[in-house]
Amino acid sequence: MDHDAELLMLCALDALDPSEESEVRSHVRVCPACREEFIQCCEVVGHLALVTRPVLPPIALRRGLLSAIAQAPGRRAAHLEASNGIKDIHWEKTKAGSFRGTA
């Protein structure tokens, strides 16, 4: 993988499929510039949760989502496995109440 800011942001948003995510995380481990950018992307994603108004999903959507998750146990396991490469990033809460990642 080359330096790709869009892929880094999509990875921070957890919007990549497991193989793409694994490729990005492997690159982040060996590329300090992308690691720093990925940390910044994760900070931005962390702020998104604070600036959006929480909305309760319709009950049918919730049931459908939970059903889909229950039928795809391998997806969760693959995601957790792919995430292990970034466990050296530590999260701390800032004075403003958001979270900041440091390598």
Residues that bind Zn ion (CB under 5 A): 3, 31, 34
Name the residue nearer to Zn ion (CB basis): 32 or 57. Answer: 32
To the nearest whole angstrom, how small is the minimum distance from the Cβ of residue 30 to Zn ion? 8
Contact assessment for residue 83 and residue 24, using Cβ atoms and an 8 Å cutoff? no
Distance CA 38, CA 29 (A): 10
Name the residue nearer to Zn ion (CB basis): 31 or 78. Answer: 31
Distance CA 96, CA 80 (A): 29
Name the residue nearer to Zn ion (CB basis): 43 or 47. Answer: 43
To the nearest whole angstrom, how small is the minimum distance from the Cβ of residue 33 to Zn ion? 5
Token pair, residue 28, equals: 């982040």
